[in-house]
Chains A and B, each alone.
Chain A
């Protein structure tokens, strides 16, 4: 009789244990993994600032956005050169270069592949007077740099009224720590 009681108790305990672990399983399974399935197809892309805005003709902007970077120079360098020379006709003079020593064809060849070059070894900036295209920091005045390279000639002195938009800083200060960008307005 005593043995029987123990058996009943054992069965009861195991039943309770089983049902408990079932419950646990159910609780554990409740949060379903989000659905990450499916195919995602290119809509927009960006590497360097203002490239799409300045050098891509309006009728080509969608096509540029859906051309992979490794094919951009082949497909778009001549359009970039045409648009650069229309903006800054001095580039059509033989031997004319910008302050980086790049002539029209070389400069637009660089720009047409719309990727950002980033150094993993130190200073990261679009241009700080010493480092060129080693990244893009939040405070970099990228538009003035691009205007200087488009309009400024060999030593940044040509076309001074076109070479600086005279907006040199953001309207809010950046943070030195993550997430770096300022709080929204």
Chain B
């Protein structure tokens, strides 16, 4: 029994160090482990094929025990950027920011300024959804032709990041088969917005990226 306990402690420590290594490599120092740290970005056609779904995940590697206490930072603006004319400058933005238990969305709208600094576009179409609680059914808001969600979700990313790090560090020369999903069993804070294609260019190809911006 004692041996089992020691084994458990050892493997927990090993897991913690793997996660630390992973976090270290994934994040840039200025945002690492903070509430503005973007872990992933997705954009895909919705169940309704007239729509595109944007997913921004922040605050990665949340353990189940830490998830109930995780929250969106009201000083962090998450901005979905959409370039409709292939110059990699945003023509449209959808802004998401939390206030008092709700996630507010502004847009899609032409931003008053492009680039590194933003104001919240309060004159744009405003929508909101109650932030879902851990352990509850997701709260979904359908409004202004869009669908909205904000709250904790399973981290959809999968990768043997630990082995990748070992390869990069020169400690291994191959991936294992089967590999081990470093992100299994961990959660993220997600913002999901589904938007009619007609509001973001209609047809052709857009370029899109997500930014987190901190209130100054």
**Shortest distance from the beta carbon of B43 to any chain A beta carbon, whole Å:** 5
Neighbouring B residues of A95 by C-beta, 8 Å: none
| Interface contact B156-A182, CB-CB below 8 Å | yes
Given known pairs A43-B31, A164-B175, the reply for A184 and B43 (CB within 8 Å) is no
Interface on chain A toward B: helix, strand, loop, or mixed SS? Answer: loop
Task: Name the segment of A3-11, A18-26, A96-104, A165-173 touching the other chain.
Answer: A165-173
Query: Counting chain A CB atoms within 10 Å of each CB, which of B55, B83, B154 scores highest?
Result: B154
Total A-B Cβ pairs within 8 A: 252
User: Size of chain B's interface in residues, with CB distance under 8 A?
Assistant: 94
Given known pairs A65-B31, A120-B202, the reply for A178 and B185 (CB within 8 Å) is no
Residues of A within 8 A of B (CB): 34-47, 49, 52-53, 61-62, 64-66, 68-70, 72, 113-125, 134-138, 141, 143, 161-162, 164-172, 174, 176-185
6 A-B pairs whose Cβ atoms sit less than 8 Å apart in the complex:
A36-B120, A44-B212, A68-B88, A116-B207, A124-B45, A162-B173
Residues of B within 8 A of A (CB): 25-31, 34, 36-38, 40-47, 52-53, 55, 62, 64, 67, 76-77, 83, 87-89, 97, 99-100, 104, 114-120, 122, 134, 138, 140, 147, 149, 152-154, 156-160, 163-164, 167, 173-181, 183-187, 190, 192, 194, 197, 200-216
